[in-house]
Chain A
Amino acid sequence: MDLYQEIIVDHYKHPHGRGLREPFDAEAHHVNPTCGDEVTVRVQLADGLIEDVSYEGMGCSISQASASVLHDLVRGRTVAEALTRHDAFAELMAGRGRVTPDEALLGDGVAFSGVARYPARVKCALLPWMAFKDALTRAAAEPTTVGGTHHD
């Protein structure tokens, strides 16, 4: 089946950048109430760059691998670049398998193309990205806030 690409299983078993780290400007905790998947994402900005994205979560291989890929794709990027990647990933997920992903932009994220054909799983893949966007918005809005006590 095209859902469980080796890249996805690899990210699931050996996640990149996992664990919540300090300091951070903002964090967001998102839950998928239909399946109980959870993820917390923290964002730390410095000089307009995303200095760190740290995360912790529990859930299926798709949601957890997606968080690992997210970390690779946005860390060290500008806010604008990160949002472009977010939008490209969201577009891929909404495409029902008909969107051809830009590998230069999405890297390992292209392995999630198959997920878009499983509507029940799209939410899993998007969960960390939604939490990231949420945390990023908060971090950008309050760049001086440290300690990120916001929760959903």
Chain B
Amino acid sequence: MDVEKVRADFPILDREINGYPLAYLDSGNTSQKPRQVIDAMREHYERHNGNVSRSVHTLGTEATEAYEAARAAVATFVGAASPAEIVFTKNSTEAINLVAHAFSANADDPRFRLGLGDEIVISEMEHHSNIVPWQLLCQRTGATLRWFGVTDEGRLDESRLDELVTERTRLVSVVHVSNILGTINRPERIVRRAREVGALVMLDASQSVPHLPVDVAALGVDLIAFTGHKMCGPTGIGALWGRYEVLDAMPPFLGGGSMIETVELTGSTFKAPPDRFEAGTPPIAQAVGLGAAVAYLNGIGMDAIAAHERELARYALDALATVPGLRIFGPTTPVDRGATISFDLAGVHPHDVGQILDNEGVEVRVGHHCARPVCVRFGVAAMTRASFYLYTTTDEVDRLVRGLGTVRKVFG
């Protein structure tokens, strides 16, 4: 993979920040967008704009075809059995909430029936979007929320798997790649145990689909959630993948246009998935943009992107180890970890670290990264996080390390 060639596709990377070339090390937060995606969305608005699934005219037909082509591209990208297994949502958060709302005391399908004595299992490593929807669900139904712990090395602690995932478990929902520790979780054991007890398995794939080849069939899970803006696509669109039979067992989420078969004032009937879950006018141009993003990533190759990021992670872990007083949270070797590295610099608050780095054009994220339980687990209020992507260079990692030298000087 030729990084300089890739970088030429991203107009924003030409920017200067505070007199320095931009070093964007916050792709775990949101990725930058290649010209191909921006152009596809502009062309859609300039040439093909119409509403989908309800127009007989030419523009409506073109828009519908573009929207469905994007669904098919996304389906192929994650190894779905058919495009009908992809539900477009606003983001990962909405995808997870959609699944949470499928559970209730009187669900038709027993797998989605949830009440007192039933359990949902998550982990201490989750983003708030894979914690709060389940807390709310447990409040609604009286079910109990349980979780896997995290080891000192930042790995999922599966040592109590059989006690945690039991006949009472209805769903296990864990993160595929941690947005804060960078840990790559292998769900095989969890899936095997869930199958034994008849529980469903969901993965929050927000940080894996953009960075690794993901094949839902190989993962063996039932549902995954991911989002467009972290994979070179626009904001405002994400996706829920589910095995069709599982999606088909789920009741509607939001009600409205496009998701119904017939509507009478006395009651309505609903379409099959994925339409059942896409009420109202969907994010059409955003879907077109996401389709273009998938084409872009395919053009470079997810294997090549993953290899590039592995190399960056190895390089950055070595480079950061040379900074005095720096402590890395999560795996310190580039094995089963992504190119997202969170750390603490002794005596300096992450907000100050981030501010001084920004002054030199190095953009990192600081705070609790929407994964506050991880900060609590490691005894800190906040962390500084550098997260890389296909356009990140080792030179940018060097600038991060030099910037940390400036931080130490200011607070020395």
Residues of A within 8 Å of B351, CB to CB, are 35, 37, 59-62, 121, 124
Interface flag for B198 (CB, 8 Å): no
Determine if A34 and B410 form an interchain contact, defined as CB atoms under 8 angstroms apart: no
Interface residues on B, range: 10 to 19
Question: With A1-B356, A9-B411 known to touch, is A34 a contact of B367 (CB < 8 Å)?
Answer: yes
Q: Report chain A residues within 8 Å CB of B366.
A: 35
Asked whether B352 is an interface residue with its Cβ less than 8 Å from the other chain, the reply is yes
* Whole-angstrom CA separation of A13 from B349 in the bound complex: 12
Closest to B406 in A: A1
For A35, list chain B residues within 8 Å (CB): 351, 366-368, 382
Convert A19-42 into 0s and 1s, putting 1 for each residue whose CB lies closer than 8 angstroms to a CB of B.
000000000000000111110000
Q: Is A146 an interface residue (CB 8 A)?
A: no
Query: CA A59 – CA B355 in complex, angstroms?
Result: 14
Q: CA separation between A121 and B352, bound complex, in Å?
A: 10
Interface size on A, residues (CB 8 A): 19
- The interface bits of chain B over 327-367 (1 if a CB of A lies within 8 angstroms of the residue's CB, else 0) are 00000000000000000000011111001100100000011
Interfacial chain A residues near B367, Cβ < 8 Å: 34-36
Name, among B349, B356, B368, B375, the residue most crowded by chain A CB atoms within 10 Å (CB to CB).
Answer: B349
From residue B358, how far is it (CB to closest CB) to chain A in Å? 9
B326 within 8 Å of A (CB atoms): no
B355-A121 in contact (CB<8A): yes
A and B contact pairs by CB, cutoff 8 A, 28 listed: A1-B356, A3-B359, A4-B410, A9-B411, A12-B411, A13-B411, A35-B351, A35-B367, A36-B367, A36-B375, A36-B381, A36-B382, A37-B351, A37-B381, A38-B381, A58-B381, A59-B349, A59-B351, A60-B349, A60-B351, A60-B352, A61-B348, A61-B351, A61-B411, A62-B351, A62-B352, A121-B355, A124-B351
Instruction: List residues of A whose CB falls within 8 A of some B CB.
Output: 1, 3-4, 9, 12-13, 34-38, 58-62, 118, 121, 124
Extra pairs beyond A1-B356, A61-B411 (10, CB < 8 Å): A3-B355, A34-B367, A35-B366, A36-B367, A36-B368, A36-B375, A37-B381, A60-B349, A61-B348, A61-B351
